Amino acid sequence: MLNQFKESIRDKYLDFGFTDEQRKAVFIVFGAFIAIGAIFFALAQGRGSEQAQTIIPQVITPTIPAIDELLIVDVSGRVRKPGVYSLDKGSRAIDALNLAGGALPGVNLGDINLAHLLFDGEQIIVGAPKISYSRNSRSSVKAKVPTATSPLSLNSATLAQLDTLPGIGPVMANRIFAYRKLNGPFLLIEDLKKVSGIGDATFAEISKLVRI
């Protein structure tokens, strides 16, 4: 049956006066074209699949500021918006004050070094009340300088007593007193570092001379 079909095709479409040898040559050429076309098609399909496999979607990672590059500062006292603020490392007291909306009208900023370089966990008290004391009371207390064996209580010390601590003058004594008044009693000696102006060096000098 297949042979009859081939002969029918040959008789209908290839009977152009070709000899048997010429017909065979035509079949060979025709078959070669088909084979070459199939090879090119297969190669094209292979390249397409390889390109599809090598395409990797680009993932965009959002930039998030590192936590260790931020400072957490508490701004309290007589400011428009007291609260806790995050600032970049290298920020100064004036930057924190601006975030808090600035000082209220009539507040004296003379006790605050606005160019002071902030540290993490610092508290800035704006317009802290100044409590004065007489020279007599100050001099009488100065005779009793706190020592490691008789440390000064941070929660009950007067301004005059705080002033006897090394490196603590009247301005810093006022800040310690104001911090205690606004935040309540000190819970840890290390809380002294939260008072504006008391850095590591000052704290190391007075930490053995005070107690809770």
pTM over 0.85: no
> Alpha-carbon distance 112 to 125, whole Å?
8
The CATH classification number of 67-126 equals 3.10.20.600
**Tens digits of per-residue pLDDT, 70-90?**
888 888 888 999 889 999 999
pLDDT tens for residues 136-187? 444 444 445 555 567 888 888 888 888 888 888 888 888 888 888 888 888 8
> 73 and 85 in contact (C-beta within 8 Å)?
yes
Topology annotation, domain 135-211:
DNA polymerase; domain 1 (1.10.150)
- Per-domain residue ranges for the chain? 2-54, 67-126, 135-211
Secondary structure of the chain in HEC code, one letter for each residue: CHHHHHHHHHHHHCCCCCCHHHHHHHHHHHHHHHHHHHHHHHHHHHHHHHHHHHCCCCCCCCCCCCHHHEEEEEEEECECCCEEEEEECCCEHHHHHHHCCCECCCCCCCCCCCCCECCCCCEEEECCCCCCCCHHHHHHHHCCCCCCCCCEECCCCCHHHHCCCCCCCHHHHHHHHHHHHHHCCCCCHHHHHHECCCCHHHHHHHHHHEEC
CA dist 96 and 123 (Å) reads 10
- Considering 18-22, 32-36, 144-148, 152-156, the range whose residues carry the highest mean pLDDT is 152-156
Same fold, 67-126 and 135-211: no
| pLDDT at residue 65, as a whole number | 55
> Does residue 200 or residue 44 have the better pLDDT?
200
